Chain A
Amino acid sequence: MDKLMGILLELNPDIDYEKETALIDAGLLDSFDIVTLVSEIDDVFGVEIPAQALTPENFNSAKALYGLIRRLQEC
């Protein structure tokens, strides 16, 4: 989770990722940010996030995103 927080804070340090649960719905992260995140996650976690997983539910909070990474790691 710390590694993910590092990636997220590098993307936008002004967001409180511990509390925020509407990163996409509230427009805090846009599609450019999502693609950048996918690329960073690929580098750091060795996980390839497929296009069908790029949904607001998976990216609305750090917790949800971490859950997605864990699920993909287990596959």
Chain B
Amino acid sequence: MSFISYSFLLFAAILLVIYYSIPARGQWLLLLGASYCFYAQSGIENLVFILLTTASTYIAARLIYRAQAACDRKTAKRRSRIWLWLCLGIHFGLLALCKVRFTFQNVLLPMGISFYMFQSMGYVLDVYRGSIHPERNPFKLALFVSYFPQLVQGPISKYQELAPQLLGQRCYNGKQVSFGLQRMLWGYFKKLVIADRIAVAVLALKGPEHTGLAFLVLSCFYAIQIYGDFTGGIDIAIGLSEALGITLPENFVRPFFSKNIAEYWRRWHITLGRWMKEYVFYSVSVSAPMRRLSKSARKKWPKFGKRLPVYAATFATWFCTGIWHGITPNFLLWGMLNGLVIVISEELTPLYQKFHSRFPWKSKPWYGALEMLRMFLLMNLIRIVDLFPNVGECFRRLGTVFTPASVPFLELGLGVVDYGILICGCAVMLCVSILQEKKGSVRQLLWQRAGLRYAVVLGLLLAVLLMGSYGIGYDAGNFIYNQF
């Protein structure tokens, strides 16, 4: 069941009514049933995958916990480590197999597998690290793994932040439900009015005849598409969950306002970044081989040797992040490019500091805007690698950027009205982002002004209904991140 379907809206409406009508102690069971219904809609075979993942996660966590209770500390550590590696090997092996079949045999991935697999493995790792106790009730764990709003494209939650909420009891709170529905509407606006409209031009610009400046336009259009698509989907997920009284972690904090790449990755796909940081970056950087490498490197190069574990862990993390997105060369290259830019930025830090002490512009608004623009363009160029599974073709197009070529804007499947809607839509997104950056929650600001609030909600609703992309042959069901 897609977020962009009448059946989903009907499903969500019925769920909300029943959820707040039944005794609160049964709410979590209702959510579990609803999650499996939601998932079963995408195919019964997909349901098998998630059931198996849940069962194996439950068993692995219990086995690790039991192994840790052994009297002898060394035995406990060895046994729990064996169970952990076995669990990680099976799950990530299965995920890799699914991705291989998807890439080479065109077999669709089970819906949301990368998301619920990572969430489940985060739970197992937390049990291994002693951060949490394993859940005794398999049905309660099943709800954590399969909670449907976040199943399709995240956010990836941690057990300790999500489970207590899922299993808690909630009363109807009008303001909270209203806020949740408003956020969903905002998500639909971004997805249907902006992302799905500009997607048509992105598809056209991918054609081999578009070179030169068109490649740069493609990179900017794709940035807008993926931002509207992914954040729109996340807004729908977080909004629905909010209406159910469950707060999911934020996945985006206005990433295009970032002034450097490290900041960008603290603001974009935050929960995947957090997963990678906690379980890959830290694990690699403080691992025994890395400590040994660092010590021997410091003897030869005292300064660089200190940074070596950080850089090695950065590349390992970005390799994993690339693989998470797909096993094709373009995603690996995308990951490595991100790692490379982060390492280069880190190495150039002393140079930046010298520059800023000589030219004290850092506090000037115009300089901040320039830094944001630089970051936007740089990330666009890295991100465009996503679009071309053939890396050679991507570089060939990049090589033509400075050759004279016009961009046939009106031959890309969009008319003047479409461009007008896109410009207005992007302006609205920008204004909302600036307001959030400066004043915090826009919904809180509007809450005190009922008239304005109703006008904004009505405006958004009309925009979605009248300006959403629903043309013939157009498939509104697909979110870009559904393919992961």
Contact = CB atoms under 8 A, between A and B. Distances in A.
Q: Do A and B truly interact?
A: yes
Contacts of B130: 52
12 contacts: A27-B266, A31-B277, A32-B346, A34-B282, A35-B281, A35-B310, A35-B313, A36-B307, A38-B285, A42-B291, A51-B282, A52-B129
Contact of B286 (A30, A32, A40, A54): A54
B310 A36 contact: yes
Contacts of B294: 39
Contacts of B281: 31, 35
Given A32-B346, A35-B281, 18 more contacts: A27-B266, A30-B262, A31-B277, A31-B281, A34-B282, A35-B285, A35-B286, A35-B309, A35-B313, A38-B285, A39-B306, A48-B286, A49-B286, A51-B282, A51-B286, A52-B129, A52-B130, A54-B286
Contacts of B291: 39, 42, 48
Interface string B284-302: 0111000100100000000
A6 interface: no
B283 interface: yes
Given A30-B262, A32-B346, A39-B294, A51 B310 contact: no
Given A31-B282, A38-B286, A42-B291, A51 B309 contact: no
A50 to B, nearest CB: 7
B343 to A, nearest CB: 10
A18 to B, nearest CB: 24
Q: Across chains A and B, which 7 residue pairs bring their CB atoms closest together, nearest first?
A: A52-B129, A35-B285, A51-B282, A51-B283, A54-B282, A35-B310, A32-B310
A48 B286 CA distance: 8
A21 to B, nearest CB: 21
B129 A51 contact: yes
A53 to B, nearest CB: 9
Most buried by B among A35, A38, A50: A35
Contact of A36 (B129, B277, B287, B306): B306
Interface of A: 27, 30-32, 34-36, 38-40, 42, 48-52, 54
A4 B117 CA distance: 39
Contacts of B306: 36, 39-40
Nearest to B279: A51
Contacts of B346: 32
B448 interface: no
B105 interface: no
A60 to B, nearest CB: 16
Contacts of A27: 266
B403 interface: no
A54 B309 CA distance: 15
B307 A50 contact: no
Given A52-B129, A52-B131, A35 B262 contact: no
A58 to B, nearest CB: 12
B368 to A, nearest CB: 17
B302 to A, nearest CB: 11
A30 B346 CA distance: 12
Nearest to B128: A52
Interface string B451-466: 0000000000000000
